[in-house]
């Protein structure tokens, strides 16, 4: 995600401190950066740059060309508006009265923008942040209140998540902060006071930090920090001493990025859902440009992707076909263009990709476009090649993913595909309003169910410790459960280097069962009620050949324990949504096996995060 650093001091130059802080947040991923620095009561100077932080450093001579001891800085990971200098933060009100940086997503920004436009505000960027800054300016001027009241009034109107650091022209040397659902910390030292979205940004200056709570605000001066609640009342807080070293601080205290990203899944799912759910609880895909007419006319769907994104396609195939009755075909992008694909002119090709840069997926997109078929990208990185070239884009909001093994981007892709399938079914009259509302309600319960599964991770850790020397592992399931197996198996092999295979459960006895011998671990995924007994029968076949059985099923299927030796239960949900839940223990299993084997979890051998060659 984006990174924020702010610093105010009596005498120390702010810009070099801000640049150093932003450099410590580079690991989070970004596409542009910017600074605003104030020298006493003079107007702030704003410098923004697209691309690497180094560009900003060169523009400002490492910060030295920006005098002043109070400032804010930001690294941006685009969510609203392409990566560009114009969209980079800080954003400003027209008269420089309010200037600020923001992390998070403002869900009702279009509504707020319209309101401000009615009051003669003009907008130079496509960002939700500019709207937030101008909203603060609006309340500050309208009610002639102080910064804290202006922020509080804005917070009441803003829906979504934010960590905001703001400077007001009338208050030189001061930084104001507001937070909801997006992390923000405040640091204190003898040199001055700091604000940051993450500890590593300020660790070289101080280890004394305050963690801001939701709906709290803060006022920073060079000597002190005061916290406020939404009513403007002062809140007393205690500092925390950071004991971590810089490296573990980057991982938010987790040992690896992969574990951090596993924990970020509820948020990735929630943010992706919120981006297309309207206040009335409807699915609104207008941002993708997929009109109801287009949706009604689609005669077939081809999903093209690589690796885990292809697994999402495999899961989505079951969901789409079941809900919409549109024939769906799922293709490996690396195969698609070499087999002279036959596509219907009124078909839709969906390319799923986290990076939006995967060479085979990009080539498949171009092939589909060459054949004149409408294309839709389901993409995590805004402004990436596939996002730019596809006719329509549905952005997943997982934020930057650092671990090579995808977790949160995969989960966000699943949710995006579920939402698309539900929307298609509704528009085509196969899902009525009530049924759609019930599915949306269930979808909204998934983040907390994922959280619950992550909380129980120690049990998976214990199980992993028993099998850390395994040589071969098999995953079996039917229907959607087979798609889950594909991802579970990849998670295991790519980071733990244990050979594993995913099999459609009924296919095992057509050859592969000859590999089962005493003690070989076979994991059955059994979330689909109508296929449950069939997979259990296949597991029994394995057990009679000496296999060790583990099972993943939903709460209530306690009889599973009569067949398998280790059972993981996932909360009940709509049958179409089980991949989101059942994948979590499998991600954890892959992770803990890799840890138990002492491997480099985040950077497995021979692998790259983004595969930009064929
Ligand atoms: O960026 P993409 O989603 O297009 O990447 C596709 C695959 O390379 C990716 O999912 C890969 O399989 C991951 N390492 C799996 O964890």
Query: How do residues 235-260 score in pLDDT, each as one tens digit?
Result: 999 998 887 777 777 788 899 999 99
pLDDT at position 609, please?
76
Overall fold of domain 457-614 = Rossmann fold (3.40.50)
3-state secondary structure of 598: coil
Return the percentage of the chain with pLDDT > 70, whole number: 99
Residues forming a β-bridge with 219: 176, 226
Q: Give the pLDDT of residue 122.
A: 97
CA atoms within a 13 Å half-sphere pointing along the CA-CB vector of 413:
34
Q: Quote the pLDDT of residue 614.
A: 65
pTM of this prediction?
Answer: 0.81
The answer, yes or no, to whether residue 416 has pLDDT greater than 70, is yes
Domain boundaries in the chain? 3-250, 254-444, 457-614
Q: Average pLDDT in the 540-569 region?
A: 95
The Å distance, Cα 562 to ligand 1 centre, comes to 37
Residue 353 Cβ inside 6 Å of ligand 1? The answer reads yes
What fold does the segment set 254-444 form as a domain?
Answer: Rossmann fold (3.40.50)
User: Which residue's CA is the closest to the ligand 1 atom numbered 16?
Assistant: 405
Structural element, H or E, at residue 166: strand 162-168
User: Which tens digits make up the pLDDT trace of 301-325?
Assistant: 999 999 999 999 999 999 999 999 9
Portion of the chain with pLDDT greater than 90, in percent: 86
Task: Read off the DSSP letter of residue 346.
Answer: T
Which pLDDT tens digit goes with each residue over 379-389? 998 878 899 89
- Say yes or no: CB of residue 384 within 6 Å of ligand 1: no
Confirm or reject: Cβ of 405 under 6 Å from ligand 1.
yes
Measured in Å, residue 361 CA sits from the centre of ligand 1 at 10
pLDDT band at 27 (very low <50, low <70, confident <90, very high): confident
Q: Chain-centre distance of CA 151, in angstroms?
A: 27
Q: Are 563 and 543 in contact (CB under 8 A)?
A: yes
Position 527 scores a pLDDT of: 98
Torsion from C-alpha of 451, 454, 458, 459, nearest 10 degrees: 100
Atom of ligand 1 nearest to the CA of 308: 10
Residue 414's CB is within 10 A of a number of other CB atoms, namely: 27
Q: What average pLDDT does the segment 414-419 reach?
A: 98
Q: In CATH terms, are 254-444 and 457-614 the same topology?
A: yes
Mean pLDDT within 551-563: 96
Q: What is the pLDDT of residues 191-235, one digit of tens each?
A: 999 999 988 899 999 999 998 999 999 999 999 999 999 999 999
pLDDT value at residue 46: 97
DSSP 3-47: EEEEEE-SSS-HHHHHHHHHHHTGGG--SEEEEEEE-TTSPPEEE
Q: How confident is the model at residue 62 (pLDDT cuts 50, 70, 90)?
A: very high
What is the per-residue pLDDT for 244? 72
Is the predicted pLDDT of residue 603 greater than 90, yes or no? no
Kindly report the CATH class assigned to 3-250.
alpha beta
Catalytic residue flag (residue 2): yes
361, 413, 428: which is closest to 390 by C-alpha?
A: 361
- Chain-centre distance for alpha carbon 506: 35
Q: What is the mean pLDDT of residues 539-547?
A: 93
Kindly indicate the confidence band of residue 28, based on its pLDDT and cuts at 50, 70 and 90.
Answer: confident
Respond yes or no: is residue 70 known to be catalytic. Answer: no
pLDDT of residue 1: 60
Find the mean pLDDT for residues 427-440: 97
CA of 607 to the centre of ligand 1 (A): 10
**Greater pLDDT, 66 or 508:** 66
What is the per-residue pLDDT for 565?
Answer: 96
Q: Which pLDDT belongs to residue 151?
A: 98
Residue pLDDT, tens place only, 88-119: 999 999 999 999 999 998 989 999 999 999 99
d(CA 590, CA 457): 12
Pairwise CA distance, residues 574 & 529, whole Å: 11
Q: Judge whether residue 613 has pLDDT over 80.
A: no
Smallest CA-to-CA distance from 40 within 60, 10, 65, 5 is with: 10
Q: What pLDDT does residue 606 have? A: 84
**Residue 422 in contact with residue 431, Cβ under 8 Å?**
yes
Q: Is residue 587 lining ligand 1, measured as CB closer than 6 Å?
A: no
CA angle 437, 422, 610 (to 5 degrees): 130
pLDDT in tens, 485-541: 999 999 999 999 999 999 999 998 898 888 999 999 999 999 999 999 999 999 999
Mean pLDDT estimate for the chain: 94
Q: Is the CB of 535 under 6 A from ligand 1?
A: no
pLDDT of residue 554: 97
CA 353 to ligand 1 center in whole angstroms: 7
Confirm or reject: Cβ of 154 under 6 Å from ligand 1.
no
Given a cut of 90, whether residue 337 has pLDDT beyond it is no
Taking only the tens place, the pLDDT of each residue in 434-489 is 999 999 999 999 999 999 999 999 999 999 999 999 999 999 999 999 999 999 99
What is the reported pLDDT for 607? 79
Q: How far is CA 498 from CA 99, 349, 423, 501, in A?
A: 52, 34, 39, 10
Q: Are strands 175-180 and 216-220 parallel, antiparallel or unpaired?
A: antiparallel
What single string gives the DSSP state of each residue in 96-162? Answer: SSEEEEEES-BTTHHHHHHHHHHTT---SSS-HHHHHHHHHHHHHHHTT--HHHHHHHHHHH--B-E
């Amino acid at each position: 995600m984006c990174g924020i650093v702010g610093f105010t001091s009596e005498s120390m130059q702010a810009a070099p401190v801000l640049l150093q802080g932003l450099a410590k947040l580079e690991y989070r991923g970004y596409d542009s950066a910017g600074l605003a620095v104030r020298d006493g009561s003079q107007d702030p100077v704003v410098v923004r740059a697209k691309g690497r932080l180094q560009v900003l450093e060169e523009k400002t001579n490492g910060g030295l060309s920006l005098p002043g001891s109070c400032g804010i800085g930001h690294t941006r990971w685009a969510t609203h508006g392409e990566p560009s200098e114009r969209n980079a933060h800080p954003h400003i009100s027209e008269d420089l009265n309010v200037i600020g940086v923001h992390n998070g997503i403002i869900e009702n920004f279009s509504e707020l923008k319209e309101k401000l436009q009615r009051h003669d505000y003009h907008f130079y960027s496509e960002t939700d942040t500019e709207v937030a800054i101008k909203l603060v300016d609006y309340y500050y001027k309208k009610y002639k209140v102080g910064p804290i009241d202006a922020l509080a009034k804005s917070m009441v109107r803003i829906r979504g998540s934010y960590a905001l650091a703001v400077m007001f022209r009338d208050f030189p040397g001061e930084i104001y902060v507001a937070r909801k659902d997006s992390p923000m910390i405040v640091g204190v030292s003898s040199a001055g006071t700091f604000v940051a979205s993450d500890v590593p940004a300020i660790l070289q200056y101080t280890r004394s930090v305050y963690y801001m709570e939701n709906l709290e605000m803060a006022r920073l001066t060079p000597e002190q920090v005061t916290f406020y609640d939404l009513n403007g009342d002062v809140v007393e807080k205690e500092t925390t001493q950071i004991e971590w070293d810089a490296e573990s601080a980057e991982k938010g205290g987790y040992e690896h990025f992969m574990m951090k990203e596993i924990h970020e899944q509820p948020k990735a799912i929630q943010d992706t859902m919120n981006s297309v759910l309207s206040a009335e609880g409807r699915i609104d895909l207008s941002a993708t440009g997929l009109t109801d007419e287009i949706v009604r006319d689609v005669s077939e769907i081809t999903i093209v992707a690589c690796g885990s994104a292809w697994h999402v396609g495999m899961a989505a195939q079951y969901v789409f076909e079941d809900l919409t009755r549109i024939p769906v075909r799922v293709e490996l992008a690396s195969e698609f263009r070499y087999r002279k694909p036959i596509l219907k002119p009124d078909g839709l090709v969906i390319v799923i990709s986290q990076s939006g840069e995967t060479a085979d997926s990009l080539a498949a997109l171009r092939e589909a476009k060459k054949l004149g078929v409408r294309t839709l990208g389901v993409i995590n990185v805004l402004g990436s090649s596939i996002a730019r070239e596809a006719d329509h884009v549905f952005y997943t909001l997982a934020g930057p993913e650092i671990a090579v093994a995808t977790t949160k981007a995969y989960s966000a892709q699943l949710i995006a595909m579920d939402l698309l399938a539900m929307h298609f079914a509704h528009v085509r009259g196969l899902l009525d309003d009530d049924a759609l509302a019930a599915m949306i309600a269930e979808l909204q319960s998934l983040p907390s169910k994922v959280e619950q599964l992550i909380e129980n991770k120690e049990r998976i850790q214990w199980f992993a410790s028993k099998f850390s020397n395994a040589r071969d592992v098999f995953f079996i399931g039917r229907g959607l459960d087979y798609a889950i197996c594909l991802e579970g198996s990849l998670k295991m092999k790519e980071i733990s280097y244990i050979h594993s295979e995913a099999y459609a459960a009924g296919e095992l006895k057509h050859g592969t069962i000859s590999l089962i011998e005493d003690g070989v671990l076979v994991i059955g995924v059994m979330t689909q009620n109508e296929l449950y007994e069939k997979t259990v029968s296949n597991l029994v076949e394995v057990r009679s050949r000496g296999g060790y059985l583990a099972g993943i099923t939903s709460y209530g299927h306690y009889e599973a324990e009569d067949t398998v030796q280790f059972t993981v239960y996932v909360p009940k949900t709509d049958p179409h949504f089980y991949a989101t839940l059942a994948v979590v223990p499998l991600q954890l299993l892959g992770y803990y096996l890799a840890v138990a084997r002492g491997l480099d979890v985040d950077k497995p051998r021979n692998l790259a995060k983004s595969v930009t060659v064929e």
